Structure 1
């Protein structure tokens, strides 16, 4: 205890220079020798003053200084008054312009790189502390913030301590104390009263110190208390907003040749009406979550605008988007051929960047070679439509090399016609060049979805486990390489990971990550075991 109080006294006797977890909080580290240095003996009121209600705070420096984004980088905690910053010669002056200091309260002013010199632009991290009462609050606490989906620690997440519970995310109430998570996800609070407090975390994108409806958030059911010492406290799982509340447009862009893409802050119910103002779309494509959509238009102009009225019964909003393309769109056919190879057991897929108006199988041709053939021979094939923009070409895969040709007008889009022949040449990968991966859990997992990822963490496949008897599965015809997995406990059985609701105490669905790679070799079947028990019992790193 004596050691702790000596540390506190040292902190209050100096302006500390370093980075740390609290917003503007500075808790040790190497001093930047070229940064402006405060003249401690001339600060008014003096550092660690008690029973003081200052109208202005004056912090002199040893050189001429300039302000660096003071609105963002100067923080008063608790935020009971407004401090207006200014520079007078070599001093930073913070004048109280609004609000009143509260009795028996310890205040900390954090200068998070808000002061820099005017020559080299070196900046400083500092904290100034005083109290309106007869003593300085010196209690601490800390929490850890992780992503609710990945379980990984999150940096630069705002964590607030509130005196009362938040009832919704439209409140203008700001936290009594505020901190920011560091690279390990830890947010540290200093100079606290005993409490109790309610802790909420949010991704404060607009830096207004409040949880807004579209921001990711987390909360703790148990209350938080200040203490004379602490270990990293409870885990806060940061999650997207729940699907309740009003929708917002998150993105809005036009892509050539004539596609309008929008994403929303929540899934859009099928009852919501989209009434287009000028051009009517010829098709649309929603993602599986129904929170993003692409509309396709018959429009060959390089400039213009799209507009739609979105009405959900209680609300009617008009969304518009102007567009201008400097160069005309060039017709292009995309395929799933990689490095001139069609992967084993795959099917040739052809796509346009707009809906397909028509295709003519008689204007397509396939030829092949096998073994020591010196000339290509005709190859029978069949073309089937996959969706509005894609076709699949089915042919015998027991060949070595294929030349596929689409002659002019063999594949036309609504806005672009095929004027030139398209040639797609590829080798067919033999089945012996791939392997199988059997995955078995050490116990029957809950109802959920197992996702297979490649070395770049791209999701390649998914399998649903019924939670009753399913305990293993086989991923077939995988390319040689390293694979990992994650499992979503799909409590609502909607087929994907679901967020929670902070204000109804609904937790986001849990995920388990199995990042130790499993290696697949050509013409081998490999088996790996995933431990459900260890994953459930292990806290995020």
Structure 2
């Protein structure tokens, strides 16, 4: 090869290399950091005894920060005053804890940081890191473990507190309402297994609380609770089950409110089946009144003929508990709650769901001659009407056919309410789909010793009830004309045969009625006939 050619090749290579070096590109960088921070040392050392310090420092191998630490950090036994943690909002190579409380003598303390310590760049957590110290001359080393379930829902709540109370001369059933526990831990995310560590030998009461307020106390109105009936004797090798449930609140009445010029609402907690509302203020002879329960709410409505007034004094009495309260409701300028009609189903009708005309004000009279039900061919449909004064609605009963359009017509005066108001002309249009647009599901229940009665329910994937079948003896459970979708199936063991699920009560030592869930979602498509076998474990 001639020198000229060699020179050309050499120059070409130099130019090519220079061009590539001049190109601007994005550095790919190294692999993503997935390593958790590493604790280098602690001052005082972890597992210290005879602890009498106010500050603790944790040193790490990289910059760390605190994330959601108020929720993540669990201190056992709980402190009256929360410690001060730094840095908050900034990154540092150490975390400092300043104790603001007076520590109990001869006590082992555990600081469980959950996933609250993360590195600065990728926020990789140092999972479940604990710092343990004792104000005595040894570290308590006993442990207690168990499992949490939810009595009603298939999925257990996140961040459930597990509380252990020492049973001594000061302990009563009301202690968990008033004082924090001796030991505490919590679950993270959707974990259902728990472990309490560094415990002292003795007798204890064990609870699980979904602590809405985060105050380490049980609030019946807002918290779920699970409890073990037997006394816990430590040390133990037993695995304990805590079944969370929401109690029916103790009876109570909220401050009533004048919601409209003709309506005063009385909200209540607990069992309101025997409530009675009476006026203490003398009403004019021209004033009529009526009390109704608000649909799907724990509220009683006092309807009355509006008149000029300053206030009304009421007595509301729970006759079964023999408890009475008085309330003074002041008048205010609000609109009149006029007659309104609505249908419980709109658009597509479900074949197996009732059709109800709902009224907001007290329903007094129905003129069936002014109500028509016609199909898509304008042919009158034979139907029965039933006035339901308890639910304040009008029920339509007729044979619902597929591929059909229906129209309910209410002529003026068809419905009359308590205030003698009547409806204008109202139309409600409905339609049905083809049978092939639905699916049918059959569930066979298997078990060696099933205790009846039971309730088999279907919910959607959000847990909202869609259908249910009650059975006092063994049978095949057939759910026809279901909308396509994914369903959950569950069996309620109706121990008291009242046709509904009953929750528990801690003070009465009542556990909730048992519910068994089918292990997986059931997918149903249009025009499907599906059969599932539900094996119940006793």
Same fold judged by TM-score > 0.5? yes
> In 2, Cα distance between the equivalents of 1:438 and 1:157?
36
Q: Give structure 1 stretches of 5+ with no counterpart.
A: 1-28, 371-375, 537-541
Deviation, structure 1 residue 73: 7.4
Tell me the SS of whatever aligns to 2:499.
Answer: coil
User: Pick from 385, 388, 411: which aligns with 2:387?
Assistant: 385
> Is 2:84 the partner of 1:78?
no
User: Pick from 138, 163, 166: which aligns with 1:163?
Assistant: 166
TM-score (norm 1): 0.69
Deviation, structure 1 residue 127: 5.0
RMSD: 5.1
> Is 2:518 the partner of 1:514?
yes
CA contact 2:167–2:203 (8 Å) conserved in 1: no
> In 1, Cα distance between the equivalents of 2:394 and 2:302?
17
> In 2, Cα distance between the equivalents of 1:305 and 1:61?
66
CA contact 2:110–2:130 (8 Å) conserved in 1: yes
Change (3 A) 1:307 1:84: farther
- Cα-to-partner distance string for 1:343-373 (whole Å, 9 max, x where unaligned): 4466643112232243333433444334xxx
CA contact 2:105–2:136 (8 Å) conserved in 1: no
Tell me the SS of whatever aligns to 2:516.
Answer: strand
CA contact 1:80–1:101 (8 Å) conserved in 2: no
> Is 2:227 the partner of 1:219?
yes
> In 1, Cα distance between the equivalents of 2:72 and 2:244?
24
> In 2, Cα distance between the equivalents of 1:259 and 1:525?
51
Give the structure 1 partner of residue 451 of structure 2.
446
> In 1, Cα distance between the equivalents of 2:105 and 2:374?
84
CA contact 2:108–2:139 (8 Å) conserved in 1: yes
User: Pick from 489, 499, 504: which aligns with 2:503?
Assistant: 499
Give the structure 2 partner of residue 106 of structure 1.
108
Tell me the SS of whatever aligns to 1:297.
Answer: strand
> In 2, Cα distance between the equivalents of 1:386 and 1:277?
30
> In 2, Cα distance between the equivalents of 1:77 and 1:346?
52
> In 1, Cα distance between the equivalents of 2:368 and 2:82?
73
Give the structure 1 partner of residue 241 of structure 2.
235
Change (3 A) 1:316 1:335: closer
User: Pick from 327, 340, 349: which aligns with 1:342?
Assistant: 349
Tell me the SS of whatever aligns to 1:154.
Answer: coil
Query: Which sits farther off after the overlay, 473-482 or 182-191?
Result: 473-482
- Cα-to-partner distance string for 1:374-410 (whole Å, 9 max, x where unaligned): xx35556553323352113455656933333223343
> In 2, Cα distance between the equivalents of 1:480 and 1:81?
54
Change (3 A) 1:492 1:251: farther
> In 2, Cα distance between the equivalents of 1:88 and 1:525?
61
Give the structure 2 partner of residue 202 of structure 1.
209
Q: Give structure 2 stretches of 5+ with no counterpart.
A: 1-33
User: Pick from 425, 435, 446: which aligns with 2:429?
Assistant: 425
> In 1, Cα distance between the equivalents of 2:382 and 2:277?
44
> In 1, Cα distance between the equivalents of 2:82 and 2:534?
55
- Cα-to-partner distance string for 1:452-482 (whole Å, 9 max, x where unaligned): 324344323333322xx43334344444555
> In 1, Cα distance between the equivalents of 2:503 and 2:442?
30
CA contact 1:58–1:94 (8 Å) conserved in 2: yes
